[in-house]
Amino acid sequence: MIAEVLLPTFIIVGIGWSLGRLAHAPSRPLAQAAFWILSPALIFESLRTAQLPLSVALAVIAFTAVHYLGMFALSLPVGRRLFPGERGARAATSLVLTFGNNGNLGLPILLFAYGQAGVDVGVVFLAANAVLLSTLGVAIASWDGGIRWRSAVGNLLRVPWPYAVAGALVFRVVGFPPLLARATGLLAQGAIPLLLLLLGLELAHVRAAQMARQAGGLSLLRLLGGGALAWALAWAFGAEGLVRGSLILQGSVPSAVNAFLLAVQYDRRPDLAASVLLLSTLLSVGTLSLTLFLLGIAG
């Protein structure tokens, strides 16, 4: 069962990696399509049709916020210890430890592990992640430039995910035309394979020879620390069954592609962020297998 969950996911990532290495395919067009169209469609359609009670959705949002803030708090002393006096590296450390790959990797794993019900939980997690990435993430990446929280809120308004969330909530109440629902449904179905291909394409641009020395420790801290915190929070929140498993898996994923992209955008040790992205993704094959086993998804 573990192989049935992880193998299809990493096969598609491998196809994307091969496309990037052998055909030198650029990732930007796919990234733009995923960012502006398919990811918002997936969030919109999943939230619009989700059968999650409001209380569960609010608990997922609270779990996400506490998990991310907990990992951010952990990253601060780690960054100071590893990179004293090097603010760019400390910002990169906070980015790669705080933000997990909940979209590109987390949603496909939930789909194979729990079906659409797992994706429904994961999408709420992803929507909260999008808000935090657009505010806290940008603040971390640009902190040396003296960013203000007003600017962070402005960044949030420039990304499509909050509008997808708001639209889904509105159309859950007023109804959505069936013809349009078919279109958004098709777009949503294309999001998960595209996100996996995009992850592979991004990993293809990372060279092992450029691996930062501290990447191994940070990768393990992201996977094991994030996973341990997710287990503890799931217990503290009283989560059970499918919701519990989905939250733990989303909290246990490797470092996010978007953390790497922010490090590149703001020149915060992109070599370090790329190294952690690559290594944590490779190591996650083992750690996610263990997590699935502990959750009883084995056989």
User: What is the predicted pLDDT for the residue at 258?
Assistant: 83
Residue 229 covered by a domain: yes
Residue 126 covered by a domain: yes
Residue 45 covered by a domain: yes
Mean pLDDT taken over the chain: 88
Cα maximum dimension of the chain: 57
Residue 265 covered by a domain: yes
Q: Is 82 left (phi over 0), alpha (psi -120 to 50) or beta?
A: alpha
Instruction: Identify the band that residue 214 occupies on the pLDDT scale cut at 50, 70 and 90.
Output: confident
Residue 85 covered by a domain: yes
Structure tokens at 26: 């650029």
How many independent structural domains does the chain possess?
A: 1
Residue 10 covered by a domain: yes
> Is residue 205 predicted with pLDDT exceeding 90?
no
Any idea what the CATH number is for the domain that residue 214 is in?
1.20.1530.20
Which amino acid is it at 237?
F
Residue 256's domain comprises 2-294
> Is residue 94 predicted with pLDDT exceeding 90?
yes
> Is residue 19 predicted with pLDDT exceeding 70?
yes
Across 37-46, 72-81, 260-269, the highest mean pLDDT is recorded for 72-81
Instruction: Identify the band that residue 210 occupies on the pLDDT scale cut at 50, 70 and 90.
Output: low
Of residues 23 and 76, the one with the higher pLDDT is 76
Q: What angle do CA 223, 58, 194 make, to 5 degrees?
A: 55
> Is residue 153 predicted with pLDDT exceeding 70?
no
Instruction: Identify the band that residue 293 occupies on the pLDDT scale cut at 50, 70 and 90.
Output: very high
Residue partners of 285: CB distance under 8 A and separation at least 6: 6, 10
219-248 pLDDT, tens digit per residue, is 999 999 999 999 999 999 999 999 999 999
Q: Look up the pTM and report it.
A: 0.85
Residue 299 covered by a domain: no
User: What is the predicted pLDDT for the residue at 225?
Assistant: 97
- Give me the helices (H) in the chain, please: 2-22, 28-33, 39-49, 54-82, 87-98, 107-114, 116-132, 138-141, 149-157, 161-174, 178-204, 215-220, 226-236, 241-251, 257-265, 270-294
Query: In this prediction, what percent of the chain has a pLDDT beyond 90?
Result: 46
40-68 pLDDT, tens digit per residue, is 898 899 889 888 888 999 999 999 999 99
Residue 192 covered by a domain: yes
As a whole number of angstroms, the distance between CA 50 and CA 59 comes to: 15
Average pLDDT (69-76) is 96
